[in-house]
Amino acid sequence: MFIKLKLNILLIALSVLLLVSCERCGKPASPPAETPRDRAIREGAADTDNRRAFGAQPSEEQDALEEPFPEGLLYEVVDGKTITITRYEGIETRVAIPALIDGLPVTIIGEHAFSGKPGLISVIIPSSVTAIGKYAFGDCDNLTNINIPPSVTVIEDEAFRGCESLTSVTIPPSVTAIGNEAFGRCESLTSVTLSRHTQLGKDAFPGKVKIQYRD
């Protein structure tokens, strides 16, 4: 009688164990707890997906507008530090010279850089330029507008010789010297504004030009 009772109890216990085991087999295993590192990876991936789907917002550097580079503008790097404009071979009538090229400042407009361009009407010189070379704009017959920024210190010989359409020029006091015939044969030039301290080369301006001194 006692042995039979023990067997019944044992059978019941085995049945319970089997039932529990079957229930566990039918359930998927619980995933391991997510660590902070796993969460960061997951959220980073989601952010990347969002950027791909909707387009990432540009950074401040990407959003900054770069100066347009004139087609046909040739230059050389000097000592890995500055840029000299050597020649313009484009066909645009209005040219804005960039202040920076490849991250380097444009400091010199070289000899003959824009010479002999009858279609050129206007040139904007950036405030990084310190010197305008010999015959740089020579014989630009239709050049009517040229700005000389306060960074320029030297205008070399014949720099604007033969620019027959120039009517007036304002030269900043930063210019210490203007070369021989710098504005020679500028037949339409009638008014020039400059500093009394600027040294003028021989026949720097046509004889009929009226010079107005700013100091």
Q: Which secondary structure element, helix H or strand E, spans residue 11, and what is its range?
A: helix 2-26
Report DSSP letters for 74-112, one per residue. EEEEETTTEEEEEEE----SEEE--SEETTEEEEEE-TT
Convert the pLDDT of each residue in 184-198 to its tens digit.
999 999 999 999 999
Which one is predicted more confidently, 66 or 53?
A: 66
Backbone angles phi, psi at 39, to 5 degrees: -65, -40
Closest residue by Cα to residue 132 from 161, 163, 153, 162: 153
Beta bridge partners of 168: 191
Confidence label for 45 from pLDDT (cuts 50, 70 and 90): very low
Instruction: Give the pLDDT confidence of 125-173 residue by residue, as tens digits.
Output: 999 999 999 999 999 999 999 999 999 999 999 999 999 999 999 999 9
> pTM score > 0.85 for this model?
no
Instruction: Give the amino acid at 25.
Output: C
Backbone phi, then psi, for 29, in 5-degree steps? -65, 140
What value does the mean pLDDT take over residues 57-84? 72
Res 111: pLDDT: 98
Which pLDDT does position 58 carry in this prediction?
35
Question: Domains of the chain (ranges plus CATH)?
Answer: 2-25+35-62 (no CATH), 68-215 (3.80.10.10)
Sign of CA dihedral 70, 98, 148, 154: negative
Coil/strand/helix, residue 72: coil
Higher-pLDDT residue of 40, 104: 104
Residue 56 has pLDDT above 80, yes or no: no
Confidence of residue 25 (pLDDT cuts 50, 70, 90): low
Q: What is the pLDDT of residue 9?
A: 62
Predicted confidence band at 70 (pLDDT cuts at 50, 70, 90)?
A: very high
Kindly report, residue by residue over 71-127, the tens digit of the pLDDT.
999 999 999 999 999 999 999 999 999 999 999 999 999 999 999 999 999 999 999
pLDDT value of residue 215: 79
pLDDT top residue among 41 and 1: 1
Counted residue by residue, the chain has a size of 215
